[in-house]
């Protein structure tokens, strides 16, 4: 019998992970801070055509690319003459469980079946749980979903409860926990006790599954508009959505397409705080995940995270909760598509960005998600109000205050975005490394060059700027 105390289980995390994911991560470790990312992805995944075949077996992928004609027309009506890029939407809500997460889950579950596991486990409060549950049923595997669901008073967010309902509807067992460090402990304990496969969001399998999304965008763009998209906007949380889409775009030859991450701005709220947990109206796609996972990707539940957002992200834009709720209604009423709301995060930024761009430019918003009773803006806003959040109308940029006020735009001209300084974000990545007390060797700069999408010389300069200003206690 194993010692199942918290400290003992956490001390066995490396062995538990190795047994549950079928990947020997030690093989890819290099000297210094580096690991061979591309070798990890190549050795543990499948060629793109094989991935498409696996996904087709369970009805995943081949989702439509829709031109948002009415929204584009609206954007042009408030733009300067000649401005107003055409906006397209990749409708991932048509996947079996209603989101792009089916792509991630399809490859993880197929791999679990191939390796002979009896079941899969995933730790998630989002759409991924429903996707894993759905794909598990298609492959005749058992499924357990571990959710961080409640605060200490037993209050659960309607969006998370909706996703729990979906998981159970697909036949999964759902373990619901309160916010805090016990989530990862309980996840490890279940992996060890059951011997199930770790269908983590951050394995190479999960990222490879999203590559078909980027690949399809290029194929469909070539067919519909005769060229690759100029911009692809991806909602950014843990980094897998953006990473997988970008890799698919590159594999399809779209090496000049600008890749832009978008998150809901929840600055000032701490995601592991019991008091803050229910003071947010989005469980994913926000800065509480987006920034920490960008600057410290290996904080994940596998030894090396295959989601590396800074390798692919050209820009990073932030929008507010109120704007996303507004755009959710806009999409339903102007285009007849009830989606989101979290999936409309990138669409919100796309509307603001399109106003600045020439009419001959194209933007692809690369995903939507299904909606349901607990996800609707009305449910989210009612829950927010019941938790003491003030709901007002007005300019979100000026009046929105995460955890205190949600400001709904008074009109579409108030939809805007805030730009994140990418250089400062990359400095934060380096700071996180240096805080661990590492001493960089020459080969580390080649690794940083790839990780941060900069030259070796720029990497050395950023390290120089950061190294004199690192307080290991912070």
Residue 440 has pLDDT above 90, yes or no: yes
Q: Are residues 227 and 242 in the same domain?
A: yes
The answer to whether residues 137 and 11 belong to one domain is yes
For the chain, the domain total comes to 3
More confident residue, 272 or 225: 225
Vertex 132: Cα angle to 173 and 166 (nearest 5) = 60
Residues 134 and 166 occupy one common structural domain: yes
Structural contact between residues 315 and 421, judged by C-beta atoms closer than 8 angstroms: no
Structure confidence by residue, pLDDT tens digits, 301-323 = 888 999 999 999 999 999 999 99
Burial of 411 per CB tally in 10 Å (0-12, 13-18, 19+): exposed
Domain of 329, in residue numbers: 58-97+205-419
* Pair 197, 247 in one domain: no
Domain match, 246 and 188 both: no
Is residue 271 predicted with pLDDT exceeding 90?
A: no
What pLDDT does residue 218 have? 98
Using alpha carbons, select from 240, 239, 219, 237 the residue that is nearest to residue 228: 219
For residue 313, give the nearest of 247, 268, 266 by alpha carbon: 247
Strand order in the sheet with 418-419: 65-67, 86-90, 362-365, 231-235, 258-264, 315-319, 418-419
Q: How many CB atoms lie within 10 A of CB 143?
A: 28
Domain contains 474: no
Give the per-residue pLDDT at 469: 63
How far apart CA 305 and CA 401 sit, in angstroms, is 32
- The token pair at 93 is 């809500």
Domain co-membership, 433 together with 415: no
Give domain status of residue 1, yes or no: no
In a domain, 284, yes or no: yes
pLDDT higher than 90, residue 210: yes
Q: Is residue 166 one of the residues assigned to a domain?
A: yes
Please tell me whether residues 158 and 225 are part of one structural domain: no
Please write the tens of the pLDDT for every residue from 143-193: 999 998 888 888 888 888 999 999 999 999 999 998 877 888 999 999 999
| pLDDT confidence of residue 471 | 52
Cα 269-271-277 angle, rounded to 5 deg: 85
Q: What is the CATH number of the domain that holds 270?
A: 3.40.50.1100
DSSP tag of 60: -
Q: Are residues 297 and 412 in the same domain?
A: yes
**Domain match, 231 and 136 both:** no
Report if residue 145 sits inside a domain: yes
Same-domain pairing of 198 and 249: no
**Which of 419, 441, 459 is a domain's end point?**
419
In this predicted structure, what is the pLDDT of residue 472? 44
Residues 71, 163 within the same domain: no
Same structural domain for residues 406 and 429? no
Within-domain flag for 76: yes
Calculate mean pLDDT across residues 324-335: 97
Look-up of token digits 């989601």:
307
- Report the pLDDT value the prediction gives residue 290, as an integer from 0 to 100: 95
Q: Transcribe 222-282 into DSSP letters.
A: HHHHSS--SEEEEE-SSSHHHHHHHHHHHHTT-TTSEEEEEEE--TT--TT-TTTTTS-S-
Q: Would you place residue 56 in the very low, low, confident or very high pLDDT band (cuts 50, 70, 90)? A: very high
pLDDT at site 473: 43
Question: Is 448 in contact with 413 (CB distance < 8 Å)?
Answer: no
Of 46, 199, 47, nearest in space to 109 by CA: 199
């Amino acid at each position: 019998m194993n010692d199942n105390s918290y400290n003992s289980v956490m001390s066995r995390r490396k062995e538990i992970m190795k047994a549950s994911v079928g990947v020997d991560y030690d093989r890819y470790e290099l000297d210094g801070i580096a690991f061979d990312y591309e070798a990890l992805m190549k050795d543990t995944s499948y060629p793109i055509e094989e991935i498409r075949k696996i996904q087709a077996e369970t009805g995943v992928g081949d989702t439509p690319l829709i031109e948002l004609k009415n929204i584009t027309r609206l954007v042009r009506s408030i733009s300067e003459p000649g401005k107003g890029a055409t906006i397209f939407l990749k409708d991932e809500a048509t996947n079996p469980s209603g989101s792009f997460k089916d792509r991630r889950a399809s490859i993880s579950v197929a791999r679990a079946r191939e390796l002979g596991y009896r079941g899969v486990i995933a730790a998630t409060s989002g759409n991924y749980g429903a996707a894993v549950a759905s794909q598990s049923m298609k492959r005749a595997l058992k499924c357990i979903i571990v959710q961080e669901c409640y605060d200490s008073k037993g209050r659960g967010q309607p969006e998370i409860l909706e996703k729990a309902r979906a998981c159970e509807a697909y036949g999964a067992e759902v373990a619901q926990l309160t916010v805090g460090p016990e989530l990862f402990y309980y996840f490890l304990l279940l992996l060890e006790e059951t011997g199930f496969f770790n269908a983590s969001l951050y394995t190479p399998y999960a990222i490879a599954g999203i590559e078909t999304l980027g690949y399809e965008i290029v194929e469909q763009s070539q067919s519909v508009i005769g060229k690759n998209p100029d911009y692809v906007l991806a909602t950014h949380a843990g980094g897998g959505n953006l990473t997988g889409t970008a890799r698919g775009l590159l594999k399809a030859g779209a090496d000049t397409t600008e890749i832009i991450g978008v998150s809901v701005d929840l600055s000032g709220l701490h995601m592991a705080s019991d008091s803050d947990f229910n003071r947010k109206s989005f469980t994913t796609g926000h800065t509480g995940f987006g920034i920490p996972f960008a600057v410290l990707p290996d904080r994940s539940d596998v030894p090396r995270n295959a989601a590396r957002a800074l390798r692919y992200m050209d820009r990073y834009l932030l929008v507010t909760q109120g704007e996303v709720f507004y755009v959710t209604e806009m999409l339903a009423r102007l285009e007849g598509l009830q989606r989101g709301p979290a999936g409309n995060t990138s669409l919100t930024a796309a509307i603001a960005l399109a106003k600045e761009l020439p009419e001959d430019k194209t933007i692809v918003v690369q995903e939507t998600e299904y909606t349901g009773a607990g996800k609707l803006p009305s449910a989210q806003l009612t829950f927010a109000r019941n938790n003491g959040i003030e709901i007002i109308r007005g300019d979100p940029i000026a009046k929105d205050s995460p955890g205190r006020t949600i400001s709904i735009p008074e009109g579409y001209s108030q939809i805007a975005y805030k730009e994140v300084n990418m250089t400062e974000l990359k400095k934060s990545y380096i700071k996180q490394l240096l805080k661990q007390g590492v001493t960089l060797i020459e080969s580390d700069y080649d690794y940083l060059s790839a990780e941060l999408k900069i030259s070796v010389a720029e990497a050395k300069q950023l390290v120089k700027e950061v190294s004199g200003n690192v307080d290991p206690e912070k």
